[in-house]
Structure 1
Amino acid sequence: MSTAEYRRAGLGRVARGSALNMGGAVAGALVNLGIVVAVTRGFSADTAGVLFSATSVFLIASAVANLGTSNGLVYFLARLRARGAGHAAPRVLRTALVPAVAASVLGGAAMFALADDLAALVGEPQAEMYLRLLAAFLPFAVVTDAALAATRAYHEMRAGVLLEKLGRPLGQLVLISAVALTGGAGLLTVAWAGPYLPAAVLAWWWMHRIVARYRGDASGTSGGAAPVPAPPDSPAPARPRTAAGAGVEEADPRTFWAFSLPRSVASIAQLGIQRIGIVLVAALAGAAEAAVFTAATRFMVAGQFAAQALQFAAEPRLAEMLAVDDRRGANTLYRSGTAWLICLTWPIFLPAIVYAPLLMQLFGPRYTEGAVVLVVISLAQLLSAALGMGDLVLTMTGRTRLNLANNLLALAADVALCLLLVPWTGATGAAAAWAGAIAVRKVLPLVQLMRSHGLHPFDRRWVLAAVSCLVWFGGVPLLCAFAVGTGPVSFAVALTAGSAGFLATLWRLRDPLELDGLLRRGTARGGGTD
């Protein structure tokens, strides 16, 4: 296989994995939007604000208890597979999962015991009961996340799509809607958290099934996947491994936690950037204002799901390529991935800027004042996609401490700007603070990768993707809004015309954007599933 064929096959695998994730992400975004609508329309703004604040604390606690195992499992299991050391996978799983499960049990106990203080911290004493109930489900959330990460290391994306993107949110929507029909909020927290239990059981089963399939000897011939070779023009071959010693250092607990713990704190900082605004708005401006901010950020979640669709597929591939020193291939994936990211997310946020008041009406008349919040968030998401997945590339080079520093700086910027702006401008100030944090988190790894490795996401693919999105999802909605206003008919016409033109453009540009990998089943050597 030539170098070009090798890399195009790898890009094809990532593209197909991204497409599967994207399908789940679109459905998941709609379901999660439905959850927020069910809460905001089925309960008072104060009740919704309390729930959103309590679940934000739960998700932050889940990120803390995870200990960075999700990124660590993808990174190390993919590297083991690339080097033909699948026999070491169970050791990595034990190294990761035992401490994470223990931390989640301790975290749940602490959350239960400190519910009074946490409720006071978010400025909502009524949240105490919510937090105590949520504490019981914390271990299940951690197990689900870690187990699904292990399946992604083997390019198995179906588990995450079916369980995390669709199954759990659908369960939440059904249960919350049922509670709303009863007119009481007593079971609202259980309805939101309950689906984590079956999701954890199924994710654990799926993980063991996938790992057993690919577990083999060091050569990858005993039922496991073959090692991923270096490409023909690789500057240096991967270090040789023997059957007895293959991947020993990758399975070493000290090596695993040296990578994962900094990533854990960085993940907490990332989640803090997403959630701390809700908590601070509730504390500084009230639960009703926090509900407005949360509703507006639901559209941000749609973009994050789209970004995750690509990153989940690209993460194991980057780890494999860097394990065999294929930096040129990693750079190609970085640039192609950024173009794909623009194509996935800009069509969501460009129309949202034009039709922000209409979209916010989904949550009820009280929430239309969040239109400015939605505009600010949408602009920040455009910037985030344009600068690419540099933080992921930086992490897959093994530089998790630098990634940690970047995320801590971004979180500090978010908190400082929230404290400065929220008391005066409420939810709009929190949105501006979040946008500032995103700029910090995206610009820093971009500069660092350019200086250390000469990597950057900008080339012809970037220009083609950006211009196509601006024309069809920026220009067309503006013309429709100018001609017939910003009502539902205008919105439907703009999306229909823009989508048709955009899809036709992508078809013509499928070769330069390297989207043709979606249309064929060929994969890079080394096996694996899409």
Structure 2
Amino acid sequence: MTDTADPRAADQGAGQSAGLRRVLRGGVVNMAGAVVGAGLNLALIVAITRAFSQETAGLLFSATSVFLIAASVANLGAPDGLVYFIARMRVFGRAGGVPRLLGLAMGPAVGASCVLAGALLVFAEPMAGAMGSGQAATYLRLLAVFLPFAVLTDSALAATRAHHDMAGTVLVDRVGRPLAQLGLVAGIAVTGSAGLLALAWAGPYLPAAVLAWFWLGRIVRGAARDGADPDAGAVRDGDGSQDDAAGAVGHGDGDGPVTPRAFWTFALPRALGGIAQMGVQRGGVVMVALLSGLTGAAVFTAATRVMVVGQFGTQAVLYAAQPRFAEQVATGDHAGIRSLYQAGTSWLVCVTWPLYLSALVFAPEVMLLFGSDYSAGATALVVVCAGQLLWSVLGMGDLILTMTGRTGLNLLNNVLSLVANVAVCVVLVPSAGATGAAAALVAAVLVRKLLPLWQLRSEVALHPFSRPVGVATASSVLWFGALPLLVDAVLDGGVATMAAAMATGALGHLVTVWSLRGFLGLRPRG
């Protein structure tokens, strides 16, 4: 009997399965780091809120938000550009061109970081006046010194992830840096030298930059020796030849070196989009400080820590998927993009919904972790968690939009998101404080997540509604929504009730996910 199976379809199916396994391997490494990093970052915030006054905590959170926004400006989109173009180089067997690409990207980025660091030093006093605290000038000047090192760290680790190496990001950025910050803050809390808090927070960026570039150097030298990665994810025709569909989506630069114009045409719009995105994530802290005072900024920061902890899990999936999406886009593998999008969305729900549902149900108990003065942030926490549940189930459409090279649309989406955030903050923060800023954050995030799905509709029809996502959602709601509400009603609440409900829910959720791992795409065939 003649076998009529399509060999090209079989090859593509095998390639998709191999790609999912690679993303899963990277995701597992990232997830381990995310768990540790999330715990360390939460411990850092708890240490600050419990050891220092709300005014001091609000001042530090506001100053570090300015620092992170400045770092987002200074990197000029280089991290995303490096992931995008290095992934394409690996697909087309040009790994030897990576050192030149690094030089092309990092010169302008380091220069911009130095300029912005100088601007922070010069304008520290006027900015401190706007924040309502003279000590803010000292914080901003100390932070400015370390701005170039933050940019160097982000770019180097992005380049390692483009090579599917997640260990560097985990060890340097997820564990090493926050562990050093926590240790330094603890030391300052013992001595009572609150003026050095900014130094304790920013100082670890210097050794992180050194370690990140050392790690990247080893990877680049190894890639140059070994040549192209045979499992980079290129789609191949039935006769074994590569199907170069690079021109179908994104930049058609598969056969030649990356020019400065091609790199910065991609990176700069993404940089502006990243600035807007960081403005949404951190600008709320600054807006609350300006419109409602430093105490309100401290409460809002504490209320959004659960969101930040959840973002560690989200980034574990996104960082692992980003280079794979870039490879699929380079080869025009739309079926693979849809498959990874739906699988990735189910993973995001499995990872983040347990955290957000638990925090939503036990919001008053969660806020008590930061001290009794932060109990007013419980409503803001509920609003943020509800928004993050929607965020997770909408998936990674914005990442796919970027990997198609449409950074102009990504920029537009992020600008509209920032506009929504600022507008809602201006209207609600003066009267509602941290809760108003939380509502603004949710509105902004939904704008940024919904628009890419509509913009990609004519090329890669993406939607989050699939059976794996439904199963992941049902498991999360059962074990971290229905069960905690039942336990809370029976045991009358409290921290012990929260701990018991979360422990039981975690066990049940893990058993459910493990038993359905094949259905959820956590055990791809091949």
CA deviations 1:115-152 (Å, max 9, x no partner) are 11222333433211100111100000000000000000
Which of 68, 76, 80 does residue 59 from structure 1 map onto? Answer: 68
Q: How many aligned residue pairs are there?
A: 511
| Match of residue 185 from structure 1 | 194
Secondary structure of the equivalent of 1:313? helix
Q: Match for residue 110 of structure 1?
A: 119
Structure 1 residues 72 and 355, CA gap change in structure 2 (3 angstroms): same
1:138 and 2:138 equivalent? no
Residue 119 of structure 1 corresponds to: 128
The higher-RCO structure (CA 8 Å, 6+ apart) is 1
Contact 2:36 2:175 in 1 (8 A): yes
Equivalent-residue separation in structure 2 for 1:140 and 1:429 (angstroms): 34
Shift of 1:248: 5.7
Deviation, 1:366, is: 0.2
Determine if contact 1:74/1:152 at 8 Å carries over to the other structure. yes
User: 1:398 & 1:390 partners in 2: Cα distance?
Assistant: 13
User: Partners in 2 of 1:168 and 1:397 — Cα distance?
Assistant: 32
Q: Which amino acid aligns with 1:34?
A: A
SS of 1:2's equivalent in the other structure is helix
Q: Name the counterpart of 2:513.
A: 506
Q: What secondary structure, in the 3-state scheme, does the structure 1 residue paired with 2:395 have?
A: coil
Distance in 2 (CA, whole Å) between partners of 1:165 and 1:273 is 22
Match of 1:43 in 2: 52
1:25 matched to 2:34? The reply is yes
Q: 2:218 aligns with which of 209, 224, 247?
A: 209
The aligned runs of 1:343-492 (5 Å cut-off) are 343-492=350-499
Residue 501 of structure 1 deviates from its aligned partner by 1.3
Amino acid at match of 1:259: F
Distance 2:246 2:371 in 1: 62
- Counterpart residue number, 1:238: 244
Letter in 1 for 2:234: P
* AA at the equivalent of 1:36: I
Query: Which residue does the alignment assign to 2:229?
Result: 225
Cα deviation per residue 1:449-505 (whole Å; 9 max; x = unaligned)?
Answer: 224422223211111111111111111111111111221221122112211111111
Residue 282 in 1 paired to residue 276 in 2? no
**In 2: Cα distance, 1:499 partner to 1:259 partner:** 41
**Equivalent in the alignment of 2:301:** 294
Shift of 1:382: 0.2
* Paired AA for residue 15 in structure 1: L
2:256 and 2:134 map into 1 onto residues whose CA distance is 49
1:74/1:315 contact within 8 Å kept: yes
Shift of 1:322: 1.2
- The secondary structure found in structure 2 opposite 1:342 is helix
Q: In structure 2, give the amino acid aligned to 1:413.
A: A
In the other structure, the counterpart of 1:338 is: 345
Which residue of the partner structure matches residue 219 of structure 1? none
Give every structure 1 segment of 4 or more consecutive aligned residues whose post-TM-superposition deviation is greater than 3 Å: 121-125, 231-236, 245-250
In structure 2, distance between residues paired with 1:259 and 1:156 = 23
Q: Distance in 1 between matches of 2:502 and 2:192?
A: 36
Assess if the C-alpha contact under 8 Å between 1:249 and 1:255 holds in 2. no
Q: Is the 8 A contact 1:236 1:325 kept in 2?
A: no
Q: Secondary structure at the match of 1:203?
A: helix
Given that residues 345 and 393 in structure 2 are in contact (C-alpha distance below 8 angstroms), is that contact kept between their aligned partners in structure 1? yes
Note the C-alpha offset of 1:177. 0.4
Shift of 1:368: 0.8
Q: Which moved more, 1:491-500 or 1:176-185?
A: 491-500
Q: Is the 8 A contact 2:413 2:448 kept in 1?
A: yes
Shift of 1:246: 8.1
Alignment CA distance shift 1:123-1:449 (3 Å): farther
Find the aligned partners of 2:476 and 2:253 in 1 and give their Cα distance. Answer: 46
1:88, distance to aligned residue in structure 2 (A): 1.5
Distance 2:479 2:413 in 1: 34
CA RMSD of superposed structures (Å): 1.9
Question: Matched residue of 1:510: which SS?
Answer: coil
Task: Choose which of 320, 326, 330 in structure 1 pairs with 2:333.
Answer: 326
Determine the structure 1 residue equivalent to 2:84: 75
Specify the SS of the correspondent of 1:340. helix
Structure 1 pair 189–150 and aligned structure 2 pair: CA distance change class (3 A): same
Q: Secondary structure at the match of 1:514?
A: coil
1:119·1:127 contact (CA, 8 Å) conserved in 2? yes
Name the structure 2 match of 1:155: 164
Q: 1:239 to 1:295 in 2, by over 3 A?
A: closer
Superposition TM-score, scaled by structure 2 size: 0.94
Contact 1:84 1:246 in 2 (8 A): no
> Is the alpha carbon distance of 1:32 and 1:237 closer, same or farther for their aligned partners in structure 2, counting shifts above 3 Å?
same
Consecutive unaligned residues in structure 2, runs of 5 or more: 1-9
Deviation string 1:322-367 (CA, Å, 9 cap, x unpaired) is: 1111111111001100110011100100011110000100111000
Conserved 8 A contact 2:338-2:460: no
Contact map agreement 2:78 2:267 (CA 8 A) in 1:
yes
Q: Which residue of 2 aligns with 1:7?
A: 16
Deviations 1:145-175 (A, max 9, x none): 0000000000000000000000000000000
> Which residue pairs with 1:87 in the alignment?
96
Shift of 1:223: 4.4
Residue 256 of structure 1 aligns with which residue? Answer: 263
The 8 Å contact of residues 349 and 379 in structure 1, kept in 2 or not, is answered as yes
Q: Report the residue type matching 2:306 in the other structure.
A: F
Q: Confirm or deny: 8 A CA contact 2:276 2:414 kept in the other structure.
A: yes
Identity value in percent: 53
Aligned-pair distance for 1:231? 4.6
